[in-house]
Structure 1
Amino acid sequence: MITTLSGRLRQTGFTLLEVMLVLLLIGLLATTVVLNFSGDSPEQRLNKETERFQQVFQFIAETAMLKQQEWGLVLNPGSYQFVYFDGEKWQLAEQIKAATEYKLADDIQLQLELEGLPGAELSLLSQLNWQDDDEVADSEQPPVLPQVFMLSSGEISPFRLSFQLGDGPDKVSQTVGTDFTIPLNRSDVITVR
C-alpha cells in the first residue's frame, strides 16, 4: 500500500521542465503583444527623421570634400535630395543611394530658414549663375538648383531646417542646421503651441 500511494503522488505534479516550457511560451507571447502594440511616439518618429537627415547630410558634406566637388541640398514639399555640380550644371546624384530623393511621411513638413543667420548676407553662392542661360531656355523642365551648398573646401552655407510633425496642439518640431561647417547642430524635440 505504501508503494501505490507514493506512485500516485509522483504522477499528479508537473515537472520542472514542463513549468519552464510554459513560462517560456507565456514570455514569447507577451513580447509579441508588446511589440505589436507599441508604436513610436511623435517625438520618436521626428527624432528618427532628423537623425537620418543629419547623418546623410554629414556623409554628403564629407563626400564633397573627398571628391573635391560642390554639392547641394534640394528641398521639395515632403522630400529632400542632394545634387552635385559637374562643372557645367547641377546633376541629380543617382550613383549614391543616400543622396537620392527621400520622401518623408505625409504628416511631416519641412521649413527652411536661410535669412538672418550669421553670414547669410555674405553668402554669394546663391547669387552665382550656376546654369547657362541658353541651357535653361532649351530645357523643358526647370533646372535643379540647391538651396543649401556644401563646398569642396568644407564650408556649408548657413541654414536651419525645421522638421514639423502634426497639427494644432500636438505639433512637435525639431531643428537641424549649421553656421558654416559640419557637424550639424540638432535641437531637442519641442512641442509647438
Structure 2
Amino acid sequence: MKRGRRPAGFTLLEIMLVLLVLGLSAAFVVPNLPQNKSDEAKEEASRFYQLVQLWTEQALISGQTFGLRVDDDKYQLFKLTTEDWVPVEEQRTKTNVSMPEGVGLDLEVTGFVDEEDRLFDRESLFDEEMFAEEEDKPQPPQVVLMGNGEIIPFSLTFLDGKTRLWQVKGNDVATFELRALNEDRE
C-alpha cells in the first residue's frame, strides 16, 4: 500500500492561532504608542473648555465669584472669600490641572491697559522689605468668573512648543468658543 503524501499548507487551526497572537500583540502595543502632541493639546483644550463652562455655571448658580490662575503649564481655580482668593478644593471636578509634557499655555486677557500704554510706572512707592512676607502668597487669578454671569474676556491658547494649536475664547457674557488655529485640524 502506498502512503499518500500529506497535503502541503496550513490548517485552519494554525491560521487562527497566528491571527490570535497578532491580535493580542497589537492590543498591547497600540495603546502604548506615543501620542501626537496636537492630539494631547486638543484633549486638554477640550477639557478646559468644558471645565470653564462648568465653573461659570457654578458661579452663576451659587452667586460666588471664582477666579482662574493660568501659568505656563497649569491652571487653577480660586474662590473669592472675604479674606482673599483661596484655591478651590477638588470635589467632583478638577480644579488644579497640569499640562502633559510638551503642551504649554498662553493666556491673553482683554479689557485691561497694556504695560506700554500705562501713564505711570508700576514702581513701588514704599520700601520693598516692608511687604516681604506678603510675597509668599499665591498670585491672584487673571480671569474672574463673576456670580452674575459675567467674566473678564480672555483667550487661552494651547501650544506645542511655540506652535499655537488650539484656542479657547471667552467673552464678557460667558460665551465660550473652542477652535483649532490651523485649518487642517478638526
User: What TM-score does the superposition give when structure 2 sets the normalisation length?
Assistant: 0.71
- C-alpha distance in 1, partners of 2:151/2:87? 19
Question: SS at 1:190's partner residue?
Answer: coil
Residue pairs, 1:139-158, within 5 angstroms: 139=134, 141-142=136-137, 144-158=139-153
* 2:39 aligned residue: 44
Gap runs ≥5 in structure 2? 113-130
The question of whether the paired residues in 2 share the 8 Å contact of 1:82 and 1:93 is answered with yes
* 2:18 aligned residue: 22
Which letter maps to 1:180?
Answer: D
- C-alpha distance in 1, partners of 2:53/2:177? 11
Gap runs ≥5 in structure 1? 122-136
* 1:176 aligned residue: 168
Q: 1:150 Cα deviation (Å)?
A: 0.8
Residue pairs, 1:77-92, within 5 angstroms: 77-92=72-87
Larger Rg computed on CA atoms: 1
Runs of 4+ in 1 over 6 A off after TM superposition: none
1:76 to 71, 74, 87: 71
1:187 to 169, 172, 179: 179
Give the CA RMSD over aligned residues: 2.9
- C-alpha distance in 1, partners of 2:9/2:137? 80
- Superposed CA deviations along residues 60-105 of structure 1, whole A, max 9, x for unmatched, are 1122122221101011232110001123321110243644322223
The question of whether the paired residues in 2 share the 8 Å contact of 1:46 and 1:189 is answered with no
The question of whether the paired residues in 2 share the 8 Å contact of 1:108 and 1:164 is answered with yes
Distance change >3 Å, CA 174–CA 34, structure 1 → 2? same
Higher helix proportion (structure 1 or 2): 1
Identical amino acids, percent of aligned pairs: 32
Which letter maps to 2:96?
Answer: E
Distance change >3 Å, CA 147–CA 140, structure 1 → 2? closer
2:50 to 49, 55, 60: 55
Distance change >3 Å, CA 46–CA 189, structure 1 → 2? farther
